Every structure is written in C-alpha cells, then in structure tokens.
Amino acid sequence: MKLSKTEEELMNHLWGLKKAFMKDLLEEYPDPKPAATTISTLLKRMADKKFIAYEVKGNMRQYYPLVSKDSYFSSHINGLIKNFFNDSPGQFASFFTRKTDLTSEELEELKALIEKQIDQKK
C-alpha cells in the first residue's frame, strides 16, 4: 500500500519526531499551516492503512510510525525497478547514472558503495 503525497509529507514529519501529538505535527508545517481537521483526516487514513498507530495519553493521541522510513522507501524503489525497469536493477542503475547530472566524484562514491556491498555479500 502507498501513501498519498500529503500523507508522505505528514509521515516525514512523524518519522523526524518519532512520536508526536497532533499539535506537534501541525507545528512542523510552514505557514500557512493546514487545518487541524485536515491533519486529523490524514492521520486516520494513515492509521487505517497501518502506517501509524497511537497511544491514548489523557484525552489526546500520541502518534508513532509502524513503518520505518527505510522500509517505506525501499519498497518504493523496488516497485519502481519492477514497474519501470522490467524488474532489472541493472537497467535502473544504467538509467540513473546516465540521466542524472552526477559528477565524477559522485559516480566514484556510488562505485565505492557498490563495491562495499559486493564485498559484504561474499
């Protein structure tokens, strides 16, 4: 399951805060801030999708993520590779390195990361 853009924005705030009441989440937004009812609706949808949960503290709810940021974005990248690159990480890497404005230093960093992962898998 996937989050909408507005849900992703809210989820990013929650990942940053780790646990938060609705007022804490509202404070994370720049002006003009969304309405509290909008945030409440988004939180309910995200809870229904099992991305977040909450603990009741007095008469308030303290929200926390059920899905880690790494796990969420990993599933996105894997879906992107499957749907747009014929399930081929090589095609994805080729596209990424050719179609982005990476410097030679950035490409060297990527190469080093890949070599490190290869060594760890041996």
What CA–CA distance (Å, rounded) separates 79 from 97?
Answer: 19
Kindly report the number of other CB atoms within 10 A of residue 65's CB atom: 19
6-53 tens-digit pLDDT: 999 999 999 999 999 999 999 999 999 999 999 999 999 999 999 999
Q: Which CATH class is domain 5-65?
A: mainly alpha
* pLDDT of 55 over the 90 cut: yes
Could you tell me which residues are beta bridge partners of residue 60? 57
69-100 tens-digit pLDDT: 999 999 888 888 898 899 888 888 888 888 88
Q: What is the pTM of this model?
A: 0.77
* pLDDT of 1 over the 80 cut: no
